Amino acid sequence: MAHPFGGPPVVGVGAANVGQVAREAALVRDLYGRCDYAGALRRLVDLLPTLHKVTDQRAAYQLMLPVYGVAMGSLLNVGYPAHAWLAAERCAEAADLLDDPVAVGVAAANRARVAAHTGAYGAARAYCDRAGLDLEGSDAETALDVLGFLHLARAHHLAGLKDQITAEDHLDEAAQIATHTGETTSWDLAWGPSNVALWRMAYQLDTGRPNEALLTAGGVAVAELPAVRQVYFWLDMARAMVAAERERDAVRMLSTAERIGPQHTRSSTAAREIARGLLRRGLISTDLRGLCERMGVTG
């Protein structure tokens, strides 16, 4: 099969239809934000080949970056990391063709996300380090948003590498940038103070500080986050409740995550491990049994 970036499109999509392609791209991004991964992937089957036929190639690459990001996130969240990596690579190729350091930073965050998901924290950090260096001091529009997000990602990678001091430095840098930018919607990052608090909460849980995580959770404006971020919040709350030995509250948090994003929660390794752990603790709960049945989890 020919490489999608191997040459000019054979059949062009004229300028009159580019707007229609852009609207379809906006739709799949909205579906992803609402955790409807099946809906997004279903539409991507037709959208991605069409994007590679757009005759205005720069406009096409600008659309490909978030669309391949949606493909990466959707595939990763339903348990297909190898396919997600291919989408992240296509995203990176589009960013390189744009020759835009902000776009390259977004693509680096996508590649790093898949790498970290598989435990390759060193490689993930390297992607973000390179992209972050190119964005330091940049006055390009949205450069600060992406730079801040890269700081968050590196904090996560460094936690995986057991370097808490440097990880906390990155979290502090992210918080300072978020204070300057406020809440933004660029690049589907949901960047801003609320997202920084969300990542700090996850970091505190990953480093064995559930009580601090619960305090941080009080500063997260959950209702203002897109659904996909809300699911992460409630899954982290479930982790915190398990650590605090509040098992029934943990079930309630899992149920909330499932209500907001059923596809995400039922496919989540973290959610399954929480549910399995609660079963092994001998918790008797009809809600937990129902969750486990829907996740395919047995004791």
Domain map (residue ranges) of the chain = 1-99, 209-299
The pLDDT of residue 12 is: 57
Residue type, 190: A
Q: What is the pLDDT of residue 173?
A: 97
Task: Report, as ranges of residue numbers, the positions in the chain whose pLDDT lies below 70.
Answer: 1-16, 299
pLDDT of residue 282: 87
Q: Rounded distance, CA 40 to CA 161, Å?
A: 33
What confidence score (pLDDT) does residue 1 get? 36
Taking only the tens place, the pLDDT of each residue in 57-109 is 899 999 999 999 999 999 999 999 999 999 999 999 999 999 999 999 999 99
pLDDT value, residue 16: 46
97: left (phi over 0), alpha (psi -120 to 50) or beta: alpha
Q: What is the pLDDT of residues 211-238, one digit of tens each?
A: 999 999 988 889 888 999 999 999 999 9
Tell me how far the alpha carbon of residue 296 is from its chain's centroid: 24
Beta carbons of 101 and 143 less than 8 angstroms apart = yes
Task: Determine the Cα–Cα distance for residues 170 and 164; give it in Å rounded to an integer.
Answer: 10
Can you give the pTM of this predicted structure? Answer: 0.92
Say what the pLDDT of residue 7 is.
55
